[in-house]
Structure 1
């Protein structure tokens, strides 16, 4: 039912209608209201009067009446009434008449007050909304049964996505951290191993004697005539065997005539900080380490070692055991 008809019906039943911002309507108790069967007859609403009084809030009984006959919640019923009265006041402020069906017409005069002209009584049958409420409620409640399930599924998916995202972020951060803080194993962190070629600095006396047979008797004679209290000259065989912690393979220099200078590369990288740390570390061990740099984007660390072709494999394996997992030989 339309709101103006509800206002007129409320006035017919209670004999009084207070509208905020408009004024107060009254119905003469002796006035005769037409019955529903007399709808074809138009009866002037001469028993309705209007007073220009200030009303701040709507009548609670009026809001309840609108709620009962529209099926809406009470706040919605009050909002509908406020919107209807606000529209009416706007019409009055611009000089337009405000017609309320079943009551009459209001118009604003020069003094700023409202003049009222009674209209005609309206007879209508009020519908009983309570009979239709069960059907409406059952229709509205049906889809609500699925709302908790859908909300739970949505929340579960959001939670799963959040946990998966946190795991991926954590894994990525850990991977970058390990990559940036990686330090190659050094001689201190590797287990000590005996290097077979630990005494390559000893001269090959047998080979020298075989090449110079004339000198062999003299050497023997000198050894026989040497006094027993004279301290013999130190020989390379008296030096203790080197261990990986002394890095002997990095300083090997072969005395063979067919020996050639080789570069045993232990590190190739584009990371300048990593190359400098490794270079300074090996220099601290008093090693003959060298570093080549190209355009500040490529760094190469290597040991320059004079060796024969057959010794390069031994030297490469020794360096791989102590300094780097992969050693490359460059000529």
Structure 2
């Protein structure tokens, strides 16, 4: 059974769901939960409240609930939940919604605050398990449909019938293909080429010759950020460092329409960094670095580095 379905069923029963690094969902104790097939179920979802607040760890009752309905031992149940939430935070950090079936969707606004929109009810039924099992389910159980955020997290099936998950997966694949292809073309076109003008502080692409039509977006003139100037709880992920000013300008102009937070920086007018600053916990940095490397370089070895 998908982990998101288990979270929804747990929430319906306990009227409280605390998710580490995300926040808390709650229902007033006086609100009764109707049957999922009841025509008033959609009205009931309007009473779901979300509060973005620090949650140190998942409740033991939630972990036990996941164990009881997946047959996994406690460390595996905890690991599945951590991976599910980490993937959700990654979606939020890149501007995508994080869907929790049967509860709703979270969106991250420009101020970094999570906004909650109540969702559609989950009509998938739970299997009744009399008691937790200490071994995992037989391989035959893998025939059930899975989404990108089920407890396996090992792959996404090609025929996912959930429209929102399918849309997200399609956009990610298209985006990666465009970035990898564009990076390869730009790299080959600019390899070994230098601007004829002497190096100077990067301000905007007006320093390019008039005949250059590939770099039209202004370049960020912010100096290289040090640890003391980064927002608390944020890390700088550096995609690429190059001494070729022409490549830096064109590469940044290509990436800027895809994500306005990507910066082009220099401290000495000799080397240029293409980077992005994201909020993250120390435990999230490795996962974020791997995901950003796949977005920027495709299947190449990890080249993205972290500067706190």
Return the TM-score normalized by structure 1.
0.38
Asked which structure has the greater RCO (Cα within 8 Å, sep 6+), the reply is 2
Query: Which has the larger Rg?
Result: 1
